[in-house]
């Protein structure tokens, strides 16, 4: 049991990705344990989404190893993918389906056992506050509800690693707060990676923060450590990503 807690749920080493000759992601190493929420920060185009797409098997890396719960994503994609829940930047929703039809589909695709589907559905619907939207068509839901359905689809199979790409964009402050507390709750027992542009969100939700700039990891620290040093995240962010004469770039 202790070994299970100690072993990382996600470990990434030497991850690279080239688009043509341009390196979008450069030598990324990452390790995540159960009960950790990692905040991914970085200016637009820094490579956050590219990394997340590689972690979820949507994009093949040019080099590097990705292990999810100890399973190599490239060797055994099916087994590894079963341990991940992914909410892309644009939630992948079928507008023609109702919320429960869609979530049942998600459960089936993720091989949730037939007898457990109904229970899993009730659980995510309760967690994501979708109870009064169950039989409504997804296409007719508001942005906030659609985002919640997107989150529900990512967690219905109770994955160990959850990856959220900008989950709170376009939401009102109340919805943001709801989703943040949900992420906190999810992060208690699982590993969560969260990419965002909202710095206070990272301070509120994450245990650890990593800043990405031009495909490189330029900063990594725990949120608690930053607070102790009395440095604000904004200062750090600006310092690391506004740096015009970034040495390795030349």
Smallest distance, another protein to C-beta of residue 165, A: 10
- Please give the Cα distance from 208 to 75 (Å, whole number): 29
Smallest distance, another protein to C-beta of residue 5, A: 24
95 touches another protein by CB under 8 A: yes
Applying CB under 8 A, which of residues 5, 45, 108, 234 lies at the interface with another protein?
108
Q: Which stretch binds another protein (CB under 8 A): 86-94, 183-191, 197-205, 225-233?
A: 86-94
State the DSSP string of the chain. Answer: -HHHHHS-SEEEEEEEEEETTEEEEEEEEEEE-TT-EEEEE--TTSSHHHHHHHHTTSS--SEEEEEETTEETTT-HHHHHTTEEEE-SS----TTSBHHHHHHHHHHHTT--HHHHHHHHHHHHHHTT-GGGTTSBGGGS-HHHHHHHHHHHHHTT--SEEEEESTTTT--HHHHHHHHHHHHHHHTTSEEEEE-S-HHHHHHH-SEEEEEETTEEEEEEEHHHHHHHT--HHHHHHHHHS-TT-GGG-
Q: Which stretch binds another protein (CB under 8 A): 28-36, 88-96, 193-201, 216-224?
A: 88-96
Applying CB under 8 A, which of residues 37, 38, 84, 205 lies at the interface with another protein?
84
Q: Cα 143–157–75 angle (5° rounding)?
A: 110
Judged by beta carbon, residue 117 or residue 198, the one nearer another protein is 117
Smallest distance, another protein to C-beta of residue 186, A: 17
111 touches another protein by CB under 8 A: yes
Q: Which stretch binds another protein (CB under 8 A): 37-45, 99-107, 169-177, 234-242?
A: 99-107
78 touches another protein by CB under 8 A: yes
Judged by beta carbon, residue 153 or residue 210, the one nearer another protein is 153
Judged by beta carbon, residue 75 or residue 235, the one nearer another protein is 75
48 touches another protein by CB under 8 A: no
26 touches another protein by CB under 8 A: no
Q: Where on the chain is the footprint of another protein (CB under 8 A)?
A: 53, 56-60, 77-82, 84, 86, 88, 90-97, 101, 105-106, 108-111, 153
């Amino acid at each position: 049991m202790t070994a299970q807690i100690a072993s990382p749920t996600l470990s990434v080493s030497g991850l690279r990705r080239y688009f043509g000759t341009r390196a979008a992601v450069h030598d990324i190493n990452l390790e995540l344990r159960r009960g950790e929420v990692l905040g991914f920060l970085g200016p637009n185009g820094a490579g956050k989404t590219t990394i997340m797409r590689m972690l979820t098997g949507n994009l093949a890396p040019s080099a590097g190893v990705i292990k999810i719960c100890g399973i190599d994503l490239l060797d055994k994609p099916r087994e590894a993918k079963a341990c991940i829940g992914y909410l892309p930047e644009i939630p992948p929703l079928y507008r023609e389906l109702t919320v429960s039809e869609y979530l049942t589909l998600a459960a089936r695709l993720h091989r949730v056992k037939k007898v457990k589907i109904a229970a899993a559905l009730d659980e995510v619907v309760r967690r994501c506050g979708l109870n009064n939207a169950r039989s409504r068509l997804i296409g007719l839901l508001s942005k906030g509800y659609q985002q919640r359905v997107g989150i529900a689809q990512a967690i219905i199979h109770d994955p160990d690693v959850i990856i959220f790409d900008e989950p709170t964009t376009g939401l009102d402050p109340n919805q943001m707060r709801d989703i943040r507390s949900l992420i906190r709750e999810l992060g208690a027992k699982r590993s969560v990676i969260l990419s965002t542009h909202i710095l206070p969100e990272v301070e509120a939700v994450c245990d650890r923060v990593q800043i990405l700039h031009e495909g490189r990891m330029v900063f990594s620290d725990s949120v608690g450590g930053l607070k102790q040093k009395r440095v604000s995240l904004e200062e750090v962010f600006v310092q690391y990503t506004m740096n015009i004469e970034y040495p390795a770039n030349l």
